[in-house]
Structure 1
């Protein structure tokens, strides 16, 4: 089936992704760019009957994504409850005792992201919400907060074999069955030292935070804006009301009083424990929200009616996020139908050599993950192709595994419409295009380091 798809569409399968990227750059609007890309894909796939095909793909994805719709809605609900109850503010007051300077706050954010390694959604939600107040206090731009949060998302998750990413990738390696006498988990653990981009992505964050690596480009301007004017959000988030006062149109509430930090810490611990025990982030966020409400009810800080209102408003807050992720999923399905991933992988096979293999693998897998917003799916397709090819070329298979995992990590880190970036932006109050505009130039630093490192290691081990 894959061969037929590749012969039919070939290089044309790249067109929808290119349309999305180019449109997003010029319009600075992620949702419209994604929808336009799906339209182009439907036209390529079905020609004159493209609208019917698009509608079928959309309905199927909406039906398959009920889990994500509930998950994002409950994320919004939990953020609302923690905000309106003063719980987030209470945690910020406690955290301020440790993070008592601008640099310490940035490093504290980074360390918190490393600690919550279980799942990238959990990481983004927990760290993003927890650190908003503190980073605002020290005039750290929301753009830099989002960069720090997402840099410790998938990058950390793939470096820890007990995370959701590690468990899934180990199972995929097992399914390939190319490494005799070595379990998928053992192979994954041995590949961790070779996940060079992920290591670089995590390490550069404190270097930027401490000024060892100077910020540059749009992020430098964002940080200068925050420090000089106190505007932690981009300028267009602020409006002037009828009284001539500057008003922020997004962000956490400014009219609440802090409650106990335990109202934040205990629900977050519940979130982590349930997520680890059940591997179900939806169940975890529901139980964490209920736990938070129960504590607030006893303290007479929130009524059942107010809690229900926050649930509804939280779902409303996440409507754009949910639609964006659904549009990205629809695009992924069209890309699969067009045979995009096998086409790109097979296109570079003829130029592979043992020395170049790790760097080319990282680049190709990273480019596919970045273009499609699909990471676990890209890995599932790549491992059965890359691992046998690595063995045939005499390339260390653990190096190959590391390059594939690092490539998907790069995609999660950089793709403006990926679910990881979308959750990060929701948790930090930004729009995806703001993240892409400021973070992607910085992400190029660990990407270049990763490419050079794979070239050095590839030829050294060839």
Structure 2
């Protein structure tokens, strides 16, 4: 491994010497991402793998003398990015909110209530899926709240945390894209208007027209139902995880550090201490134009007041819970931060532009939906950029779709499906990381056990887009 690392670093330095700072790296622009994927699979560690990929990319684009200053500049650029700052605050506050519900005994009360009404393993998992369908406003909100809420209920049925994370993640981004009242709908509707395939104010109409063609989301939900019901057999590492859980060991030894529980929860709590915070979180997120950061802030104030009126705990205990919840999000946020750094490096190397331009020759009217899905899904998976790459990709693909007279809602559905696939499958993507955090396992354990099911959805979707492209 050491020899291989030295070879990669040496090759990265050669790339800089051979091509220079303003180079068109072509196929070599994929090197940092390939290093990340290989290192992560080899070490089973996410943050370190991402950081190594960032270092390789910086060595390719900077001289040894400029390497350290550019690394510092990349750190600062990512820190000062408005989107990154929003994610850090929003996810930290979501961690605080979940912590309050946990120490207030709300999560425990909900788990007790559910187990008295749902007596089977399948019923508990279908309840988890139903909650995912109900909390459709945002994939962050979905993953964090449902994973944390259902842990105790699924633990009692000896469901592995890996399987719980798979169900939670499968009802995050895939559900958000097929409902026009989510953060995803707002973002992509605006992007469609910016690219002039929809008139101003009509982007959401085109988004709605594309919902039937968002094949990955529909297929993904069918696969989840089949997996829960046992009609689809356990695949890959998921089989090992479920076998381990059946013996009573819900979390692997390697993931024990991720399986943290907050102490000091109220023992005799009631259901209102779960539903009032969660429902206020959903309401305020919707009220503030689908902004979970504002929603979490408002919900924390409501929860503090509600717990205070009941004298559940002291104000000091509640603020300690808020801080513990925020700090508990540092590890997943570190993964997301390094993912954004990798995206910066890929932008400098021109990775997205290279891949799209290299495949535009295959984008005929019949083939375009399938090729667009496969290419954008691969890019989303590799770069962990599920919205950003479409800012680059849509201005290239959509005019091409108009030029070859392709079905525009179908092409839009293919690209948004690709975004959902990337969010679902990428092992350092935000939805994957947050689902793993909520379920108390590592992102790698979640990603590896989930990947076979995501690939089934991806392959079926690609075939579907090919067939629809020919027919329409």
TM-score by length of 1: 0.93
Say yes or no: does 1:274 pair with 2:284. yes
Q: CA deviation at 1:180?
A: 6.5
For residues 247-279 of structure 1, what are the alpha-carbon distances to aligned partners after superposition, in whole Å with 9 as ceiling and x for unaligned? Answer: x96345597524111111111111111111113
For residues 134-155 of structure 1, what are the alpha-carbon distances to aligned partners after superposition, in whole Å with 9 as ceiling and x for unaligned? Answer: 1111111110111111111111
Say yes or no: does 1:197 pair with 2:223. no
* Structure 2 residue aligned with 1:287: 298
Q: CA deviation at 1:333?
A: 1.4
* Structure 2 residue aligned with 1:234: 252
Number of residues paired by the alignment?
A: 449
User: Superposition pairs for residues 351-390 of structure 1, below 5 Å?
Assistant: 351-390=362-401
Unaligned residue ranges in structure 1 (runs of 5+)? 240-247
CA distance in 1, matches of 2:254, 2:26: 42
* Structure 1 residue aligned with 2:78: 61
Q: CA deviation at 1:6?
A: 8.8
For residues 431-456 of structure 1, what are the alpha-carbon distances to aligned partners after superposition, in whole Å with 9 as ceiling and x for unaligned? Answer: 10111121111211111111111121
CA distance in 1, matches of 2:252, 2:263: 18
SS in 1 for 2:462: helix
* Structure 2 residue aligned with 1:9: 25
TM-score by length of 2: 0.91
Change beyond 3 A, Cα 1:314–1:182: closer
Q: Give the conservation status (yes or no) of the 8 Å contact 2:54–2:341.
A: yes
* Structure 1 residue aligned with 2:69: 52
CA distance in 1, matches of 2:263, 2:161: 15
SS in 1 for 2:24: helix
* Structure 2 residue aligned with 1:27: 43
Q: Give the conservation status (yes or no) of the 8 Å contact 1:6–1:343.
A: no
* Structure 2 residue aligned with 1:242: none
The root-mean-square deviation of aligned C-alpha atoms, in Å, is 2.0
User: Superposition pairs for residues 3-402 of structure 1, below 5 Å?
Assistant: 8-48=24-64, 49-64=66-81, 65-179=84-198, 183-227=202-246, 229-237=247-255, 250-251=260-261, 253=263, 257-278=267-288, 279-402=290-413
Q: CA deviation at 1:344?
A: 0.6
Q: CA deviation at 1:25?
A: 0.4
* Structure 1 residue aligned with 2:15: none
CA distance in 1, matches of 2:180, 2:22: 34
Q: CA deviation at 1:12?
A: 1.7
Q: Give the conservation status (yes or no) of the 8 Å contact 1:373–1:417.
A: yes
CA distance in 2, matches of 1:17, 1:298: 52
Change beyond 3 A, Cα 1:302–1:453: same
SS in 2 for 1:271: helix
CA distance in 2, matches of 1:47, 1:6: 12
Change beyond 3 A, Cα 1:178–1:294: closer
Q: Give the conservation status (yes or no) of the 8 Å contact 2:32–2:57.
A: yes
Q: CA deviation at 1:96?
A: 2.2
The answer to which of 172-181 and 260-269 deviates more is: 172-181
CA distance in 2, matches of 1:22, 1:8: 24
Unaligned residue ranges in structure 2 (runs of 5+)? 1-19
Q: CA deviation at 1:286?
A: 2.1
CA distance in 1, matches of 2:450, 2:287: 33
Q: Give the conservation status (yes or no) of the 8 Å contact 2:423–2:432.
A: yes
Q: CA deviation at 1:5?
A: 9.1
